[in-house]
Structure 1
């Protein structure tokens, strides 16, 4: 059952997001006004090391007033390739430069309301280059044992859908 979109009108637009209302026709012929959010893609990385750990940031998200472990991720800038954005975000947020990034997965974390896509890459090592340039992003930056990820998810210490998807993918696919 495919929904038909007849039009979209902007409600609010700024450099970060575009909130719209769409006139959508349901398969039974009814119409509804459906809100949606259009955003630039995001890119991040799950960086592991030879000790079975993953590089994570512990941060507060004011919108949900929650703390949690996340992989480094951020906006892909206009004209930037997702892999370059992922490398940049890891460096800016952690102070570590990832080596040999390769695609891990792409997720659409809120596809019922947003077209946001997150391109996640993987690196098996990184070099410390200094303090993060965006130190306000994280309370802590740590190499966390992959063996602890299930427990952290279970106790609510990983709540970001994109981070959770990437970490669970790492656990199930090595």
Structure 2
């Protein structure tokens, strides 16, 4: 139905196990994306940004798409530095399909550690970049300050693992 370098919208003919058939719209993105929960000294690095698609301001983790031929790990490191001005080391946290009912898209979430300041954040990506104490994140979520689903999944997973294992991913 629509095709560009960023996405395609397809109308698929679906047959479910009981034999019923129907048409279903599917959004396909040709490249996976990444997100990074950058943690240092019990604080997480968040970006305050506006999303014109929803008309909402909110705090987000650094994230972006993998470029052609780029690994998810390399993209995560690149996107974090481009967006926040911090270079990090990363390790996998989770892989999610954020809209699995209508999209084939995959997002690889990493934990970023040992941040090193290399420059300023990109003002086109965020109005502000801030270290937020991890113990304040649940209040940010309750107040609706983190509307991004990928950020919510990433931070909730990180905090859950930190609470259940005592340290979170290293």
- Matched with 1:46 is 37
Correspondences of 1:135-150 after superposition (within 5 Å): 135-150=123-138
Q: Distance in 1 between matches of 2:118 and 2:68?
A: 26
Residue 110 of structure 1 is aligned with which of 94, 99, 104? 99
After superposition, give the CA deviation of every residue in 1:7-66 in whole Å (9 maximum; x if it has no partner): xxxx1011110110100123343321100011110012111102x100010111111111
Q: Distance in 1 between matches of 2:90 and 2:17?
A: 43
Q: Distance in 2 between matches of 1:159 and 1:110?
A: 15
Would you say 1:73 and 2:63 are equivalent positions?
yes
Would you say 1:18 and 2:13 are equivalent positions?
no
Give the stretch that moved more between structures: 82-91 or 100-109: 100-109
- Matched with 1:5 is none
For structure 2, the residue ranges without an aligned partner over 5 or more in a row are 163-170
- Matched with 2:168 is none
After superposition, give the CA deviation of every residue in 1:89-118 in whole Å (9 maximum; x if it has no partner): 0011101111x2111111111000001111
Alignment length, in residue pairs? Answer: 161
- Matched with 1:8 is none
How far apart are residue 172 of structure 1 and its match? 1.3
Normalising by structure 2, report the TM-score.
0.91
- Matched with 2:165 is none
Q: Is the CA contact (8 Å cut-off) linking 1:45 and 1:72 kept in structure 2?
A: yes
CA RMSD of aligned residues (A): 1.1
Q: Distance in 1 between matches of 2:125 and 2:134?
A: 22
Correspondences of 1:132-171 after superposition (within 5 Å): 132=121, 134-171=122-159
Normalising by structure 1, report the TM-score.
0.89
- Matched with 2:167 is none
